[in-house]
Structure 1
Amino acid sequence: MPTTSPDQILIAVAPTGAETTKQDCPQLPTTLEELVQTAQECEAAGAAMIHVHIRDADHHPTLDQSRLRDTVQALREGTGLVVQLSTGGSVHDPLESRLKVLDAEPDSCSLTMGTTNFGDDVFSNPWPFVCELYQLSQERQVVPEFELFDLGHVHALRRLIDKFGLPYGGKVHCDFVMGVPGGMPGTAPALVAGVALLPGEVTSWSATGIGRSTLPVMLAALSMGGHLRVGMEDVLTLAKGVPVERNAQLVERAVAAGRVAQRRAMTPDEARTLLGVRP
C-alpha cells in the first residue's frame, strides 16, 4: 500500500483539456492570458499543481513547441504552482510530437500507461512509446505522473518500474482517471480495486472523476487517503444545470471537501516535496 499524507491533500487543477471547444464553453481558459489568470486564481484557492493542455490562436489543441515553452515560463513567473504538461495532447496528436513536449522543460509530465478507448476515439499509448517517454523523463529530470485509465494500466506500471527503475526524484505518483467512456468506471469499487493493485513503490496517488463521476470519485479518494485532480478538463457543471464559471470553483469545492475529511490543501512547496520535483 502506498504512503499518503493523512492530514494533507494535493489538489491539482486541469483547467482546459483538449476535448471541449471554446465555442461550446466560452469560459474555458484557452489563451495564455486566461490560463495564467486561472492558475493564479486556483493557486489562491488551494491548488498546488496545474495540468496543462494548450490551444492555438484559433483555440484548437496544439503541441506547438514555442507555445509550450511560453506557457511554462509564464506559469513559473506568475505562480508558484508545480507545472505539469500533458504528453497526451489530443487523441489525434502523433506520438513524435508528444515525446517533444519534454523539450519545454516542465516540472512534471503526464505519462499514460496504456492505450484506451476514449469515447468514439482511441487514445494511443503503445508500450514502446510508454517506455521511450519514461526513459526521456528520467533523462530530462521531469517527474512523471502515471495516468491510469484502467486496471491493465496499473499492471503496466509494475512492468515499467521493474524494467527501468524509479522515476527522477525517486517518488512514484499516479492518477486514476475514471469515468472515461472506454476506461474504468468512476465508482468507489473501481477505485478500491485500482489502489489495491498499486505497486509498493507508489508513494502517492490521486483520482479524477470525469463528468457525473466527479463527486463519487472525489469522496471515495478522500476516504481512502488519496489526492485529487479537478478542473474544467474533467467536468463542466457544478450540479445538474449549473455550469462551472471558473476553475477556481472546482478547487474551492475540493478544498472544502478536504476540510470535512480533516485534510488541508498542500502548498506548492509541499507538493514539490511529495512528488520529488526538482527545486
Structure 2
Amino acid sequence: MQKKIIISCAVTGAGATTKKSPHVPVTPKEIADSAIEAAKAGATIAHVHVRDPKTGDLSHDPELFREVVERVRESDTDVVLNITAGGGGDWIPSDEDPATGGPGTDIQTPEQRHEPVGKFLPEICTLDCGSVNFGEQVYISPTDWLREQARLIQQSGVKPELECFDTGQIRFAKQLINEGLIDGDPMFQFCLGIPWGADADAETMLYMRDKIPENSHWAAFGIGRMQMPMVAQSILLGGHVRVGLEDNLYLKKGVLATNGQLVEKAVSIIEHLGSVPMTPQEAREQLGLRNPHGKAE
C-alpha cells in the first residue's frame, strides 16, 4: 500500500448523464469550475471531456477544450490536467446495412482524437488501448490507429494514461511499450465494471495489476455503486484511484453527488486506510510530467 495516493476526478464524461443529475457540468465554465472544486476537495488530477453547451451531448470541439484548459490554468487552484484523447470511437451498425454506421455512430481518426492534446498540451491524456463492446455499442480503436495516436502523443511530450477496459488491452499496451512508443515509466488505468469489459472485483484488479511492467504506475476505478469499493481495493493493492461524475452519480443510495463530494469521500477512505492524497506537484515529480506551461519536471 502506498503512503501517498493520486486521486483522479473524471468530472463530466461523455455519457447521457446530464438529464439524470443537475450536478453534471456541461459548459466549459461549469466543467472548469467542477475541476477546481474537485482539486480543492483533494483531487490530484482532473480528467476532462467537453460537452455541447446547448445539448449537453458529447463534443469534440477544440475551442471548448481551450476554454476549460485556460480557465483551470488561470485559477489559483493547482490540479494536473488530463484531457481525453478517446475522441469519437462509437460504432453502431445500421439496421439497413450493417457495413455502415447507423444513428449514434461517431468515429474520429487518430489525428482528430489527438487534436485537443496537441493544441493545448495537458500534462496527461488518455490512450484507450483497444476496442471493446461498450454497453450496446462498440468502441473502435484499431491497433494501427493506436500506434499512430501513441506516436502523436509521444511527439507532443504529454504523458499517456493507458486505459485498459479488459485484459487483452494490457497485452497491447505492453506491445506499445516494447515498440518504444511509450516514454518513461508507463501509467495504467484499469477501467472496471463497464459492460462488457473487465469485472469490478478484487480478483480482476489483482490479475490486471500483476500483468503490467514492474516500473508501472497504476490506478483503477469502478462505475456506479462499485466506485468507492474499488477505491478501497485499489489502495490496498498498491494503486491509485479515480472517482467523479463520469463514472458514478451518487454519494449514497438515492443521494446525488457533486464531484467535490465524491473526492471528499475518497479522501476519507484513503485517510482511514492510513494514506494521504498526493498533491499535484508531487504527482508531476513522481510521474515525470511536463509542468502546466509545457516544460518537463
**Counterpart Cα distance in 1 of 2:13 and 2:25:** 10
CA deviations 1:33-92 (Å, max 9, x no partner) are: 212221222111110111000012212211111111222121111231111100113532
Matching residue within 139, 159, 163 for 1:143: 159
1:164 to 158, 176, 180: 180
> Is the partner of 1:25 in helix, strand or coil?
coil
Per mean C-alpha deviation after superposition, the further-off stretch among 95-104 and 114-123 is 95-104
Q: Look up the match of 1:81.
A: 79
Return the index of the structure with the highest Cα Rg.
Answer: 2
Residue pair 1:188, 1:216 contacting (<8 A) in 2 also:
no
Is the Cα contact below 8 Å between 2:21 and 2:256 reproduced in 1? no
Aligned to 1:208, the other structure's residue is in SS state strand
Determine the structure 2 residue equivalent to 1:241: 254
* Alpha-carbon offset, residue 238 of structure 1: 1.9
**Aligned-CA RMSD value:** 1.5
- Which ranges of structure 2 fall in alignment gaps of 5 or more residues? 91-105, 292-297
Which whole-Å CA distance do the structure 2 matches of 1:25 and 1:97 have between them? 30
The corresponding residue for 1:261 is: 273
* 3-state SS, counterpart of residue 188 of structure 2: strand
Distance 1:261 1:21 in 2: 31
Find the partner of 2:150 among 134, 158, 161.
134
| Contact 2:154–2:181 (8 Å) recurs in 1 | no
| Native 8 Å contact 2:85 2:126 kept in 1 | yes
The TM-score normalised by the length of structure 1 is 0.93
- Cα distance in 2 for partners of 1:33, 1:165 equals 34
Could you tell me how far apart the structure 2 residues matched to 1:166 and 1:122 are? Answer: 26
Select 1:115's aligned residue among 103, 113, 131.
Answer: 131
- Report the 3-state secondary structure (helix = DSSP H, G, I; strand = E; otherwise coil) of the residue aligned with 2:189: strand
Corresponding position of 2:227? 214
2:28 aligns with 32
Which residue in 1 is equivalent to 2:262?
Answer: 250
How many residues are treated as equivalent by the alignment? 271
Q: Which amino acid aligns with 1:128?
A: D
- The residue identity in structure 1 corresponding to 2:38 is C
- Whether the 8 Å CA contact 1:13–1:251 is kept in 2: the answer is yes
Range moving further from structure 2, 85-94 or 189-198:
85-94
Matched, 1:60 2:57: yes
Match of 1:187 in 2: 201
Match among 226, 233, 240 for residue 227 of structure 1: 240
Which of these residues, 37, 40, 46, is aligned with residue 41 of structure 1? 37
User: What SS does structure 2 have at the residue aligned with 1:135?
Assistant: helix
Show CA shifts across 1:10-41 (max 9, x none). 00100100003422322211112212221222
- Partners of 2:256 and 2:19 lie apart in 1 by 15
Relative contact order: is structure 1 or structure 2 higher (C-alpha 8 Å, sep ≥ 6)? 1
Is the deviation greater in 20-29 or in 150-159?
20-29
Q: 1:89 to 1:25 in 2, by over 3 A?
A: farther
Return the letter of the residue paired with 1:73: E
AA paired with 2:264?
E
C-alpha separation in 2, matches of 1:209 and 1:88: 18
